Amino acid sequence: MYEAFYGFKDKPFSLQTDPAHLYLGEVHAAAYAMLQYGLINKAGFTVITGEIGSGKTTLLAKLVDEIESSKRVGYLYHTHAGLGQLLPWVLYAFGQDYSSDNQIELYDRFVRFLHEEKKQGRQVILIVDEAQNLTLPLLEELRTLSNVNFGADQLIQLILVGQPELRDKLKHPSLKQFVQRIAVDYHVPALDAEETKSYVNHRLTSSGRTKPLFTSKAYAYIHRLSGGVPRIVNVICDTVLSFGFADEIELIDGKYIVSVIKSRAAGGLLALGYEPERRGQAKSHLLNASSLEEASSV
């Protein structure tokens, strides 16, 4: 709607996962480096966590997009507490036949699949997104599936990505053996003020914008209201630009951002605001008059 008015070739702040708009600043570059490190070193388990909207799924999309044909990737993202037995879902993720109620038969299919892939020279990688939804028994089942790795034969690598609750679950005494197999572990923190500004500018330029669009005060408000969470940054910017287009505002300043967000949050149901993250501890809240006043004091 506002793309032509602001000189964009596409929508810069879409909530859709798009590796083309991936911002690899210090935070996300480190997370991506850890994912690559896990692959190169054939880590048994890699665990990446981060708050909702921190960019984890986009990092995964980039990783999968860049994985060469010598690797076979299964992607399990329909995770929930009522998943049932995990093995059929794992077979489904790799496009294998899972039509049996016999667990022994399913396990045999799984092992034969892994050995066949190894024979073909392909590295097998299972990615589990939203892994915090897995129950303790399902996480333990995942560990037992990795038992097919023995000696020098690394038959499967597992990458678990989820919200901070995943880290809490992994601290449970029953998962001690699981934790011992985690070779790579990284938590994606929220962006600081400078990285939030760089993130916004990256989105603008990657969509074709060449002139400044936000004032320095506007960037400060965007960071304070979003807490540096990329998805919330996108929501704020997209909302403000939609209003800016309607009002024909060519340069967005802080006062305009506050006026737009106050208008959207008037009903008290617009969940945009986040308290700043303190090393892995983020506290979400509904965007309200109080948080807007705090932002205005930046």
Ranges 1-10, 36-45, 60-69, 169-178: which has the least confidence: 60-69
Share of the chain above pLDDT 90, in %: 66
- The mean pLDDT value of the chain amounts to 86
Residue 70 has what pLDDT? 85
Domain ranges of the chain: 1-7+191-266, 42-188
CB hemisphere CA count around 197 (13 angstroms) = 11
**Among 59, 1, 70, which Cα is nearest to 238's?**
1
23 pLDDT exceeds 90?
Answer: no
- Model pTM? 0.83
Average the pLDDT over each of 79-88, 120-129, 242-251, 273-282 and give the range with the smallest value.
273-282
pLDDT in tens, 166-217: 999 999 999 999 999 999 999 999 999 999 999 999 999 999 998 999 999 9
**What local confidence, expressed as pLDDT, does residue 1 receive?**
81
CB 213 within 8 A of CB 237: no
Report which of residues 143 and 284 the model is more confident about: 143
Classify burial at 212, counting beta carbons within 10 Å of its beta carbon; exposed 0-12, middle 13-18, buried 19 or more.
exposed
- Return the minimum-mean-pLDDT range out of 54-58, 68-72, 149-153, 246-250: 149-153
pLDDT band at 265 (very low <50, low <70, confident <90, very high): confident
Average confidence (pLDDT) over 236-255: 95
Of the pLDDT bands very low, low, confident and very high (cuts 50, 70, 90), residue 298 is very low
C-alpha distance from residue 256 to each of 205, 251, 298 (Å): 22, 10, 15
